[in-house]
Chain A
């Protein structure tokens, strides 16, 4: 009995050992390569975040179609920030500790980013940020954070580029005058900050302004402000409000017969159908990208064609090419470094010369506080025949400025 028991025990040991050995061998043979993970955080309910996330997924699909990165598949996990600092910070925690991503990408609002910065600093993973223009966010990141890469221009970069742009335009086109400015601004933080920044940046010019209540916040009557602007007779009229103000302000300007030589709109985003309106013609705007750039940039065209083929829509905001850039630039650095190790990727990113779909070839260099700033310029665009045409910088210009603004 005891012999039988010993034999049975031996047989069971051999059987289990064989099964374990075979299973472990099989496991080793079939275990797929671990994916390289990107964690994206954008506001998916907003067109900027929605299109940035879609463009980021487009790069990931392209990389995987070409065999992945270093032979490993690439994965993008996107979490909605809901334009809420707490949710944005929780998303960083989840991506770092639950999803265990290798890199962070994303970003739109400065307020959300301020809430995320303490969590990002905790993990110090390579971070490629597409949003947050407020220099307060730059101060919050602080000096010596080599893992932090910022693509979007800071507010002072943007302001400086507007001054440079208008000076260049006025110098090149002698008929364009920019000495007298009037700013109509929504009475909230965004509009007030725009007015304060304009006063500082264009301090050598005559500037006046008046606040209005945005249609997005229950307002929508701009006639008093427009009448005052008309009486002031400015060379340049700018309104700083939201997308909801875009069409009503044009209609009311037409009603009061206000036609300044330059009519500029500076909302964070435009209504998707604004270009379809006849009122949009010759309105000037700021942005980092427009589909028209594809006429002068092959990289932009490649991006736009791929985006349209995959999603059946034209990217309407510059956050789409920024989202694409955020992943592709890291992927190129990983290829150059031959590693996903933080130090190696940082070194490769610092050396990179990246041809972006936004037109420019960028490299990273220090800004006022951080070590790795990417883009520094906004572009000056103008609605012409339903399209946003680039009028400055001149190397990306797709049209000359239509001047003066007429109906």
Chain B
């Protein structure tokens, strides 16, 4: 028993140290690695936020919608209200969170595929509104930011994204340790039992949906501040839904570290493959994802956990 407790404490420490090294290394590796690092962190944040909601059993395909909404909120507030980059990111999170709260109040009555399809449609509705509201959003041509965060300097922008990632990791870990986690897990396992145990299902789902949408909106705002533009095509791109999903599935669902590991591995692997297989790297990338999902359905963290348990039971 003692050894189990010791091992359970050792692994998070090892993961933590590795994580810190991975996040610190790019500070000493030049603008290219920092650029890759910023992209990996953006997807990591989206992956964690998706995982935070899937812990309740609610499958959302609305990541790209809230990401795009956040990126537009940040650019429009910076252009029209002259908000500084950080205030614009906070503002974008609030806008995305508020809209998620209002929409969630209606759509969180839905479950399973119905909820998933509704969130997918929501993203498309946001994109169509932005696309057609030309006087405010610039329509299909989008909008430019007059000034980038830290004037686009590599190290401070990377540091900003690292700080952002640490806050989201901490928030996700807080979710895992708070009563919200038990409520969401109970809802996922058996909604009727959860309800009969006195859990206010609707309230907890609404909290999770609002918080995760706010995170996705903030990630979109961070993207806009890094690259200085928004267009409906780029900001609402389906990649912002699909890649974080693949990262979470690779790393392992229902944990903070699964999406983190999945994002680092897939992000770095994608770039590595591109450099060494310029033609056809996306095919290899896709095959790797399919193989991992086929043979490691629990993801890396899930598989590691199972192996550890197996090892302990042999002892």
A-facing residues in B1-55 (Cβ within 8 Å) = 30-32, 34-36, 38-39, 42
Minimum CB distance partner of B134 in chain A: A196
Interface assignment of B60: CB less than 8 Å from any CB of chain A: no
Contact of B227 among A86, A96, A98, A189 (CB under 8 A): A86
Whether A136 and B144, one on each chain, are in contact in the complex, defined by CB atoms closer than 8 angstroms, is yes
Shortest CB distance A105–B (Å): 15
Q: Does A207 contact B (CB under 8 A)?
A: no
Indicate which residue in B140, B229, B275 contacts A189 across the interface (CB closer than 8 Å): B140
Interface membership of chain A positions 111-144, coded 1 if the CB is closer than 8 angstroms to chain B and 0 otherwise? 1001101110110000000000011100110000
A355 interfacial by beta-carbon distance below 8 Å: no
Check B256 for interface membership: any CB of A closer than 8 A. Answer: no
Q: Which of A35-78 contact B (CB under 8 A)?
A: 44-45, 50, 78
> In the complex, how many angstroms separate the beta carbon of A327 from the nearest chain B beta carbon?
17
CB-based contact A98/B141 at 8 Å = no
Nearest-CB distance from A77 to chain B (Å)? 10
**CB proximity of A84 to chain B, nearest CB, Å:** 7
B31 CB to closest chain A CB (Å) equals 5
B271 sits at the interface (CB 8 A):
yes
Q: How large is the interface on B (under 10, 10 to 19, 20 to 34, 35 or more residues)?
A: 35 or more
Contact A111 B233 (CB under 8 A): yes
Report the minimum CB–CB distance from B10 to chain A (whole Å): 35
B227 lies within 8 A of A115 (CB):
yes
Chain B residues near A94 (CB, 8 Å)? Answer: 32, 35
> CB-defined interface of B243-286 with A at 8 Å, one 1/0 digit per residue?
00000000000000000000000000001001100110110000
User: Judging by beta carbons under 8 Å apart, are A93 and B32 in contact?
Assistant: yes
How many Å from the CB of A283 to the closest CB on chain B? Answer: 26
Task: Select one of A79, A96, A139 contacting B144, CB under 8 A.
Answer: A139
- Cα A117 to Cα B145 with chains together (Å): 12
| Residue among A86, A87, A135 making CB contact with B141, cutoff 8 Å | A135
Does A90 have its Cβ within 8 Å of any Cβ on chain B? yes
B201 CB within 8 Å of chain A: no
A84 and B229 alpha carbons, distance in the complex (Å): 13
A140 touches B232 (CB 8 A): no
Name A80's contact: one of B30, B228, B231, B281 (CB within 8 Å). B281
A193 x B140 contact (CB < 8 A): yes
By the criterion CB–CB under 8 Å, are A136 and B141 in contact?
Answer: yes
**Separation of A82 and B131 alpha carbons in the complex (Å):** 23
Question: Would B152 and A98 count as touching, CB distance under 8 A?
Answer: no
Residues of B within 8 A of A285 (CB): none
B39 and A189 within 8 A (CB): no
For residue B32, give the distance in angstroms from its CB to the closest CB of chain A: 4
Residues on B with beta carbons closer than 8 Å to the beta carbon of A190: 140
CB neighbours (8 Å) of A79 from chain B are 274-275, 278
Q: Would B31 and A93 count as touching, CB distance under 8 A?
A: yes
Known: A94-B32, A136-B144, A189-B232. A89 touches B278 (CB 8 A): no
CB pair A118 B32 closer than 8 Å: no
Contacting pair B140 A44 (CB below 8 A): no
Within the complex, the shortest CB–CB distance from B112 to chain A, in Å, comes to 23
Q: Mark B204-223, 1 if CB is under 8 A from A, else 0.
A: 00000000000000000001
B interface, CB within 8 angstroms of A: 30-32, 34-36, 38-39, 42, 131, 138-142, 144, 148, 152, 154, 223, 227-229, 231-234, 239, 271, 274-275, 278-279, 281-282
> Can you name 6 A-B residue pairings with CB atoms under 8 Å?
A44-B278, A79-B275, A86-B227, A90-B32, A98-B30, A114-B144
Across the A-B interface, give the 9 residue pairs with the lowest CB-CB distance, nearest first: A189-B140, A93-B32, A114-B229, A90-B35, A94-B32, A193-B140, A93-B35, A86-B39, A115-B227
